[in-house]
Structure 1
């Protein structure tokens, strides 16, 4: 490779814009607490999602970043003005299902009803068409490939619902690590959350607890590996409750769940500021368009 082509190669990789996303759910709606907090009690619990999302919006404004907010329909129903604020500030609103029911707990008809209900609520609140979906807890896996058929039937453009790793809570280790068409002859594109390759192992590295608990340099290495080695954009996610060290504590939850949920909450905002400045980030719908074009060009 000569110097001119090498310079072009580096510039191409530097122009890669990765996907920044936020899964809007409150502290009491996470999968780790589902056995100790009943959905019927949600309305009586401290609602902190509006405050936390607005803090995130300010973080994004500081870094001039636009992102995608995968939102529970349950949240959108109670925070119409927040949905409107997200749209007004240039972000994408997308679906995270109705109330964080994982896909593998539903049958096909129940899943269709869930995403219909959530989409209508989010669209009514935000005033824009919802085109993207992320399954709660990345719960589209080897048990639920039919979910892609339902999403395609409903006209979704993209999904970001697969974690191609082995994990005790979720994962589809056999899935491709980068964007792919899950259905032959269909436009629907799946954009998995970012992983890192270490020898023969694929590690979770796309955000959430991996980012919050592990040293910052691990995430920096993983994202850089995607961009500079594999020449693919990263997909990063986190939750509003992860920047809220003052949230209520769920003492009845298992120790492992409490450690995962509460560890290093106080450091999350600072780490996010660093991440937002170090890489180029954009909305998931825009990333889906770029990746769809790439897949089409590779198929020629």
Structure 2
């Protein structure tokens, strides 16, 4: 049964398993070319699943991936989905200075637009790495021509998070909107509720309850995210990683596609640009 008539944003961060920030201490960047790439087949599986459920989504795509698999970019656009930017090289915004960040986001935007023939309006920082220490990134995104960002997760986390951020879409300057990842407010804390490892770890019923709470009590659209490698239990195992990282990365990979299919049935989904650039938040 569908949730109330709020359309939520379904988003996919297009990167491969060896590009995950948590694995960076174990996989050098200069090793990427030698790794088995599985992103194309996984994106194709996602596109087929979305077509089956007649859902459109936003694909925040790495320039590194787009450059090597331009056919993936074209299939995303041909499927009626929004193509957005995940930067070029999956470098955390918090690890870059202003010049390096500007070059990364500009390079990715121009590349994606050249391959797709469509304007790229949205950006998501790898690992939600915009926070209190680098709010200058919003100015750089506006200068590069982006219209919105979805780069802040309003939670406390050991790798990212800005718990005091507004929970829903807001203006961060002239011409740029930030659309934070969705949380559920419980007492004095924001709890993660929509995607990634949290979704793989939590029982599906809890994830569904959290999303419905945002729709029904906050009367807001939720933003859900996942990665192509999260439906790929056959991906290579990285040796020597610590137990915490191993658990976070591999937990319930074999169950995730079935949970995602249920999610597509239980809620209404759409593209970020259609939901947030045409509604009240865009005009405030």
TM-score scaled to structure 2, two decimals? 0.97
> 1:131, 1:158 within 8 Å by CA — same for their partners in 2?
yes
Within 2, Cα distance between the matches of 1:295 and 1:83?
27
- Residue 67 of structure 1 is matched in structure 2 by 57
- Residue 231 of structure 2 is matched in structure 1 by 243
- Residue 97 of structure 1 is matched in structure 2 by 87
Within 1, Cα distance between the matches of 2:116 and 2:34?
25
- Residue 253 of structure 2 is matched in structure 1 by 265
Find the residue that maps to 2:169 and give its secondary structure. coil
Indicate yes or no: 2:222 matched with 1:234.
yes
Shift of 1:113: 0.2
Query: Unaligned regions of 5+ residues in structure 1, if any?
Result: 1-10
- Residue 146 of structure 1 is matched in structure 2 by 136
Deviates more, 1:26-35 or 1:282-291: 282-291
> 1:83, 1:125 within 8 Å by CA — same for their partners in 2?
yes
Within 2, Cα distance between the matches of 1:282 and 1:295?
16
- Residue 209 of structure 2 is matched in structure 1 by 221
Show CA shifts across 1:37-70 (max 9, x none).
0010100000000000000011111111000000
Indicate yes or no: 2:25 matched with 1:35.
yes
Show CA shifts across 1:156-178 (max 9, x none).
11110010000011100110000
- 2:200 pairs, out of 212, 223, 226, with 212
> 2:124, 2:149 within 8 Å by CA — same for their partners in 1?
yes
- Runs of 4 or more consecutive aligned structure 1 residues displaced over 2 Å after TM superposition: 293-296
Shift of 1:295: 5.8
Indicate yes or no: 2:97 matched with 1:107.
yes
Show CA shifts across 1:189-226 (max 9, x none).
11011111122211111200011111111211111111
- 1:286 pairs, out of 262, 274, 278, with 274
Give the greater-gyration-radius structure (CA).
1
Within 1, Cα distance between the matches of 2:281 and 2:219?
12
- Residue 5 of structure 1 is matched in structure 2 by none
Find the residue that maps to 2:132 and give its secondary structure. coil
- RMSD of aligned residue pairs (Cα, Å): 1.3
Within 1, Cα distance between the matches of 2:201 and 2:117?
36
> 2:129, 2:152 within 8 Å by CA — same for their partners in 1?
yes
